[in-house]
């Protein structure tokens, strides 16, 4: 997924640098900003998932469960 998004960003960057893109420049730059935002959102979400997997094991331990009841 990340590879596809990175390829799309590379393609849009190449397209946006074209001198023949006068009429559509704003649209392409807007699309590029949207794709960058999507990539950042995906990266944050993957980080949240990684942290959850780590914390889930901690909070699933019987010792922690018994202490959290108090």
- Eight-class DSSP state of 1: -
Q: What's the Cα-to-Cα distance from 43 to each of 29, 46, 49, 50, 51, rounded to whole Å?
A: 21, 5, 10, 11, 12
Q: Is the pLDDT of residue 2 over 80?
A: no
Residues 46-56 have pLDDT tens digits of 999 999 999 98
Where does the pLDDT of residue 7 fall: very low under 50, low under 70, confident under 90, or very high at 90 and above?
very high
């Amino acid at each position: 997924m990340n590879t596809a998004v990175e390829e799309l960003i590379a393609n849009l960057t190449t397209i946006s640098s074209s001198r023949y893109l006068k009429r559509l420049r704003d649209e392409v730059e807007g699309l590029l900003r949207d794709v960058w935002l999507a990539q950042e959102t995906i990266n944050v979400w993957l980080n949240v998932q990684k942290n959850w997997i780590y914390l889930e094991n901690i909070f699933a331990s019987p010792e922690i469960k018994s202490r959290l009841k108090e």
